[in-house]
Amino acid sequence: MLFESESPCLYINRSNLTGVTLEQFDSLFPSERRSFLADDPLGYLHSMCDQLRSSCELQTSFEHLFLSLYFDQLWESHQGCGARLGRSLMPFPQTHLYLTDFSHLITGECEQKCVKVDFAFWTGQRFQAVQIDRPSGDRVHDERLLRFWGIELIRLAEEDISPAALKRFV
């Protein structure tokens, strides 16, 4: 089956217990083919961040800020060591998770539901989902569904996005 999209797409096989890391960036963005262990790992991180910010249809300035701070924190935490940087988790902006919703099973209904999160990380064992906003009535059911499927949900208020807040992801 051939699937084409304007935005980058990634299929995660949950039985493969390997996280998706920065080393896999060039397979997601073939036009950016460069060796991760190039002479300029800081430049490579900046190009990764720029590519994600420009091609993933981010919705708010806070999503742009999240990505910029994430990559800055990676650089600081790993002190520029390319090998360690490569093992860091890849952030997936504007992630759509397709989950089975059993909440109406008593009436004989269950449906596939697409839940969109601002960012996700695949650790190899579970998804971590990041929502940047304030809770709304529309998202309460989605958040329950995410938790039902074992997806760790991390909510960040816009005013809380800071280098200190993003250290937990690095």
DSSP per position, 72-135: HHHHHHHTT-HHHHHTSBPPEEEEEEEEEE-TTGGGT--EEEEEEEEEEEE-SS-EEEEEES--
Q: Which whole number is the average pLDDT over 110-135?
A: 88
Give 98's strand partners.
114
pLDDT for 63? 94
Would you call 138 exposed, middle or buried from its count of C-beta atoms within 10 A (0-12, 13-18, 19+)? Answer: exposed
pLDDT for 65? 95
Q: Which residue has the higher pLDDT, 30 or 130?
A: 130
Q: Which whole number is the average pLDDT over 100-116?
A: 80
Q: Which whole number is the average pLDDT over 120-136?
A: 86
- Pairing type for strands 152-156 and 127-132 reads parallel
Amino acid residing at 47: S
Give 137's strand partners.
none
Which candidate, 66, 10, 74, 93, places its Cα nearest to that of 36? 74
